[in-house]
Structure 1
Amino acid sequence: MDHGGHGTTADLPPFTLGRGLEFTGEPFFLVGCVLALLLYGTAVVRLRSRGDGWPVGRTVAFTLGVLTVALVMCTALNEYGMVLFSVHMVQHMVISMLSPILLLLGAPVTLALRALPAAGRGPDGAKRTGAREVLVRLLHSHYVRAITHPLFTIPLFIASLYALYFTPLFDALMGSRPGHLAMMVHFLAVGLVFFWPIMGVDPGPNRPGYVMRMLELFAGMPFHAFFGIALMMASEPMVDTYANPPASLGVSALWDQTAAGGIAWAFSEIPSVVVLLALVYQWYFSEQRQARRRDRVADRDGDQELAAYNAYLASLQGQRR
């Protein structure tokens, strides 16, 4: 059995974690991961070279996000994912729900805005347009405002499950290597677009309050659980691609599908916990900053009132003299 240029998978040995993590180096995602780490690292070095700081935690989060993408796409998990629904579901859940959260916690947009130089003005005084200006213009564009609005992100997040797996589109994409890669890029992009306004780390056009962010999160997560339950309760294979797994793997299609459903159902809880912790952390420190700002305003107003009162007393003493 050959799946879209991935090589012959009929003779794959039974899946084990050790075999699944063997490095295969899928070229498209390998180049993308290396390039992402190089660009991020270069930006951090540029900031530090001019004396500016950058939180280590953000660098660690972004690095882990890139490594999770490489884990599911540049190892044998990608080969087994072509013939095992359960392994494919691990790829889908990681690249669409865990990797985007870690990447967004790394605040790559904020880093780019700080690291990219301003274009300045030309000899004639006209304002130039550089990479930083293009990025700022994009962040404020109607296009970004539309694709980060909940009325777009939540339906897109849900449709990536039901409109893909329960239609012939999934089998068509899995039939070729470009189609499979395009589907994985789609999963990653949908995760980034969905979690970007919820995480609120990088600047963006849609920044609701913390309560609304939590509501947006919980509006999409239950559909992952329902999708997993639907797979587990099915009495026959629902996806043709995985209807006849190779005999060398020693699993039945129905068992494999049930395992895939269980993974989709259980994995929906992981990003919810991570995002909630991040939101509570941001909310707490936001309240702390506002409290300190109010204290500074109160101190300044108090000093002004005290100065005015002292001036008033001094005027009274002058009148008595």
Structure 2
Amino acid sequence: MSGPMWMPTAPPTLARLVALHPQPVPVIPVLMLVLAGLYTAGVVLLLRRGDRWPVSSAVFWALGILSVLAMTATGIDGYGMELFSVHMVQHMVLSMLAPIFLVLGAPITLALRALPARPAGTFSARSLLLSVLHSAPARFVAHPATALVLFLGSLYGLYFTPAFDGLMSTMWGHNLMLLHFVAIGFLYFWCVLGVDPTPRRASRGLRKYAAPTVRILELAATAPFHAFFGVMLMMSVALVVGFYRIPISGWGIAPLADQAVGGGIAWGFTELPTVFVLGVLLLQWQRSDERTTRRRERSAARAEAERRSYNDYLQRLAARDREGTR
């Protein structure tokens, strides 16, 4: 397959995959740098006000930005246009790893704390963000069923329809698809992890979905679909997408064999992010139980202090009564 001059012409090696990859219009790398700058500005603003921001959140956000850059600013981006297996690495990282880090960075919470508040009835970026979070479309998109359908649609709806070939035919379509992976992954794990405020938690009638057990079920629901998708690619005797149908001269890589490798990547990659997110959910559950226990202990301690104070008051009254009768 002969491509534009910015496309790789030599077979992939580790050094070529990790090297910086020149692009005519580096849309996603520039966007990631802008997001990193905005996040840093928000943290600096909080620190100057005397507020604190968790270092772990900033580290997770940085990991998310770096993960996206690793898939879009290096040779992986170029070779992803030539080999299905490399593209599948892009897809898995951009939809199942980078979004986890970005969600754990709590960008919505940071924005709500950093953006200045305005008097009631006036417009501000913070009020706009709150309006979006409480809107009906946001509640629909953040519903577990919607997020799940959109997330799985990135697999089946993209690769088993002509949509993939159409998007991959242009640089802009390719970038749009990669941004779609990140956005849908962020939406899905935003709902599952519940680190930032979500429309579901903002709605009284939907709070029950935020329970850790339900979110664990949401996480587990995607695993069999990912596994089935990977097995289909590995076992297929025909190419699923036509974009990679022409073997690259001199590389010695058969498209069907490369598709099988891509299927193995899709099948095996889901385990690590799933285990990581499960660990985060269990940790959240444990901390929630600890907070509940501490709250109950404080409530019991206050009740005991009030009881003792009342008993002391009654004893003083009784003592005065005894003195008055003498």
TM-score normalised by the chain length of structure 2: 0.93
Tell me, yes or no, if the aligned pair for 1:225 and 1:264 is still in contact at 8 Å: yes
- What secondary structure is seen at the aligned counterpart in 2 of 1:249? coil
Corresponding residue number in structure 2 for 1:279: 281
Corresponding residue number in structure 1 for 2:57: 58
* Alpha-carbon offset, residue 156 of structure 1: 1.2
Corresponding residue number in structure 2 for 1:88: 87
**How far apart, in 2, do the equivalents of 1:167 and 1:246 lie?**
24
Instruction: Render the CA deviation track for 1:32-86: whole Å, top value 9, x for unaligned.
Output: 0110110000111111111111111111100110011010011111111011000
Tell me, yes or no, if the aligned pair for 2:22 and 2:73 is still in contact at 8 Å: yes
Corresponding residue number in structure 2 for 1:110: 109
Return closer, same or farther for 1:304/1:25 CA change in 2, 3 Å cut-off: farther
**How far apart, in 2, do the equivalents of 1:283 and 1:25 lie?**
44
**How far apart, in 1, do the equivalents of 2:22 and 2:299 lie?**
56
Look up the equivalent residue of 2:19 and give its one-letter code: E
Return closer, same or farther for 1:184/1:155 CA change in 2, 3 Å cut-off: same
Q: Equivalent of 2:295, from 293, 296, 300?
A: 293
Corresponding residue number in structure 2 for 1:119: 118
* Alpha-carbon offset, residue 193 of structure 1: 0.8
Q: How does 1:87-166 map to 2 (within 5 A)?
A: 87-120=86-119, 127-166=121-160
**How far apart, in 1, do the equivalents of 2:9 and 2:261 lie?**
19
* Alpha-carbon offset, residue 251 of structure 1: 0.6
* Alpha-carbon offset, residue 141 of structure 1: 1.0
Aligned Cα root-mean-square deviation (Å): 1.4
Runs of 5+ consecutive residues of structure 2 not aligned to the other structure: 202-209
Q: How does 1:182-197 map to 2 (within 5 A)?
A: 182-197=176-191
Corresponding residue number in structure 2 for 1:209: 211
Instruction: Point out the more displaced range, 197-206 or 255-264.
Output: 197-206
Corresponding residue number in structure 2 for 1:178: 172
**How far apart, in 2, do the equivalents of 1:32 and 1:139 lie?**
23
Corresponding residue number in structure 1 for 2:316: 314
Name segments (4+ residues, structure 1) moved above 6 Å.
Answer: none
Tell me, yes or no, if the aligned pair for 1:237 and 1:257 is still in contact at 8 Å: yes
Corresponding residue number in structure 2 for 1:24: 21
- What secondary structure is seen at the aligned counterpart in 2 of 1:241? coil
Tell me, yes or no, if the aligned pair for 2:28 and 2:179 is still in contact at 8 Å: no
Q: Equivalent of 2:161, from 158, 167, 188?
A: 167
Look up the equivalent residue of 2:107 and give its one-letter code: P
**How far apart, in 2, do the equivalents of 1:82 and 1:249 lie?**
14
Instruction: Render the CA deviation track for 1:132-191: whole Å, top value 9, x for unaligned.
Output: 111111111111111010110111111111111011111111111111111111111110
Return closer, same or farther for 1:142/1:24 CA change in 2, 3 Å cut-off: same
Tell me, yes or no, if the aligned pair for 1:2 and 1:8 is still in contact at 8 Å: no
- What secondary structure is seen at the aligned counterpart in 1 of 2:11? coil
Instruction: Render the CA deviation track for 1:78-99: whole Å, top value 9, x for unaligned.
Output: 1110110000000000001101
Tell me, yes or no, if the aligned pair for 1:84 and 1:245 is still in contact at 8 Å: no
- What secondary structure is seen at the aligned counterpart in 2 of 1:53? coil
**How far apart, in 1, do the equivalents of 2:318 and 2:276 lie?**
63
Work out whether 1:43 is the aligned partner of 2:45: no
Runs of 5+ consecutive residues of structure 1 not aligned to the other structure: 122-126
Tell me, yes or no, if the aligned pair for 2:158 and 2:164 is still in contact at 8 Å: yes
Return closer, same or farther for 1:83/1:276 CA change in 2, 3 Å cut-off: same
Corresponding residue number in structure 1 for 2:235: 233
**How far apart, in 2, do the equivalents of 1:7 and 1:228 lie?**
32
Corresponding residue number in structure 1 for 2:249: 247
* Alpha-carbon offset, residue 8 of structure 1: 6.3
Instruction: Render the CA deviation track for 1:199-254: whole Å, top value 9, x for unaligned.
Output: 11101122410000000001112211110010001122221111123123221111
Tell me, yes or no, if the aligned pair for 1:96 and 1:188 is still in contact at 8 Å: yes
**How far apart, in 1, do the equivalents of 2:97 and 2:6 lie?**
30
TM-score normalised by the chain length of structure 1: 0.94
**How far apart, in 2, do the equivalents of 1:309 and 1:243 lie?**
86
- What secondary structure is seen at the aligned counterpart in 2 of 1:240? coil
Instruction: Point out the more displaced range, 228-237 or 101-110.
Output: 228-237
**How far apart, in 2, do the equivalents of 1:71 and 1:193 lie?**
21
**How far apart, in 1, do the equivalents of 2:247 and 2:98 lie?**
28
Q: How does 1:251-262 map to 2 (within 5 A)?
A: 251-262=253-264
